[in-house]
Structure 1
Amino acid sequence: MNFFKKLLGSSKSPEPQAQDVPQPHEQSNLTEAEAANLAVREAGEACLDRHWNSVGTVERDVLSYLISPSFSGGPYWPSTRQAYRVVRRGDTIILATEGLSDPFDDTEGMGNGFEMELFVETADIPEHARGAVGEVDPFKRSWVFELLEHVAKTVADAGGITHQLDQYGALSLELPGLSQSHHMSDQLPKLFVTDDDSTGVLLGAPEPDFPTQLDDMPLSPVRLVPVVLITAAELEYVRSGGRTAREDLVSRLKAAGVGLGHMSSLHRASVV
């Protein structure tokens, strides 16, 4: 298939909480293998932190969970750490996954997890869901966090999508059951909702205006994959035209310069 499907609300995760970015841990009670895994994970975190700090202003706190969703029927990430970081960039906000590229907890020699992290950049977050500097908790009540969380679930269920991105260049993801969502149903304009109650995104394109390939991760290169909200008309175009339509949509978004192409804007017109 040229897109994945995921029912919103099909599995419930613990409510995300704002937590400090983890600091180096005591390793005295860890086995040699556990200590080595932890050291690699922290090196990867530091690499991501350096990169995002070169893009914008990174909040110290991340959105995480008191109990990992993998313990309550949620999809498995490479480690039990499932988090989302906030990067402030002028008038826009980047929300990015943190943990899809962690080394696998129980497996050695497998590289940096799924070798990818996801991100969304947008300026269109409602005031009540847009935390002030130093505050990230309100973002969990935004459409952008809910969308990114569900895309991350789908990607984790698939075991990552780097091979598909290599093959197709870009992917499209369809999210049906929008009316069941907690925040997207209230915050997304009708322009982005199909008649059958779905919304859609592009994965992997258009590319942003900053590097997305991290070659200095400790075990293997990691790519940062943009998640771009598309309109209902654009989703229908991809539904009917498949890969050819998807590639044409990416070209049209680039040509239109809609928010630098990769940004998710709730106020733009369709390009098809």
Structure 2
Amino acid sequence: MNYEAHFDQSAKLRENHWNSIGKLHSDVITHLINPAFMGGPEWPSTRQAFVIVETPAGTILASDGLSDPYNDFDENPENQSYNGIGCEFYLECNEQLTSFDEVKSSWQFSVVYQAAQLAAGNPNIASIIEEYGYVSTELYHCTVPEAFLNEHGRAGVLLGLSSRKVPSRLQLSLETIRLVNVTLLTLEELDYITTNGSEGRLEVAKRLEALETSGKSFLERKSVV
């Protein structure tokens, strides 16, 4: 198959996957002007998009394009084994976010958007998560309440938690990709990880995965540390 065939097949497989979990909106959230043209990180096929999935228990917002085949697929043999960077990122929340305006102005979208852009600038992120299981990081420009921001104005997230609804793997046209959960951390949890390093990260992850709400991000969640 050529680039177009792999692109179409991967898009259809992602669409079928999300429709098996909830109701996938037919339209995607994207940019009028691609940020890559203004110095931002470039996504594999250049296309940068996000999807909205409605479920009875809330909403899932997910990147859609990080696992596209590379746009030089037909000319570059080195990229002919990969679905982009090998992952897509998603955030699961309790709220029913139905309109584009509501989603785009939500703190949930700001978090998953910044996580996806961070991943686009770090194409080895899938292998890093594979090696360590969980990755904690801090994101700029998240419209979360101030109580979730550290002294540098960044929000902490944990990447790679298990979800009760979303499998961690998805077979696409070229490879099996990771579906990476993005969980918002409380400031106490972020401080605990910062202080205790990898052991702190694993302890926070273990405690979060023990919750019935594992994989969900919501502002009312009590800190696990």
- Give TM-score scaled by structure 1 length: 0.76
CA displacement, residues 10-66 of structure 1 (integer Å, 9 cap, x when unaligned): xxxxxxxxxxxxxxxxxxxxxxxxx92111101000000110001111000100112
Mapped partners of 1:247, 1:206: distance in 2: 13
Counterpart among 236, 247, 259 of residue 202 in structure 2 = 247
1:111 paired residue number: 82
1:37 paired residue number: 3
Query: Does residue 1:193 correspond to 2:157, yes or no?
Result: no
Mapped partners of 2:223, 2:210: distance in 1: 13
1:3 paired residue number: none
Letter in 1 for 2:44: P
Mapped partners of 2:30, 2:43: distance in 1: 13
Mapped partners of 1:144, 1:73: distance in 2: 24
1:74 paired residue number: 40
- Give TM-score scaled by structure 2 length: 0.91
Query: Does residue 1:142 correspond to 2:106, yes or no?
Result: yes
CA contact (8 A) 2:188 2:223 kept: yes
Mapped partners of 2:204, 2:21: distance in 1: 26
Q: Identity over aligned residues, as a percent? A: 36
Mapped partners of 1:93, 1:138: distance in 2: 12
Mapped partners of 1:157, 1:196: distance in 2: 21
Structure 1's unaligned 5+ residue stretches are 1-34
Shift of 1:151: 1.1
Shift of 1:164: 0.5
Aligned length: 220
Structure 2's unaligned 5+ residue stretches are none
CA contact (8 A) 1:83 1:99 kept: yes
What root-mean-square deviation, in Å, do the aligned CA atoms of Structure 1 and Structure 2 show? Answer: 1.8
- Structure with larger Rg: 1
1:28 paired residue number: none
Counterpart among 114, 119, 134 of residue 155 in structure 1 = 119
Mapped partners of 1:210, 1:145: distance in 2: 18
1:226 paired residue number: 181
1:10 paired residue number: none
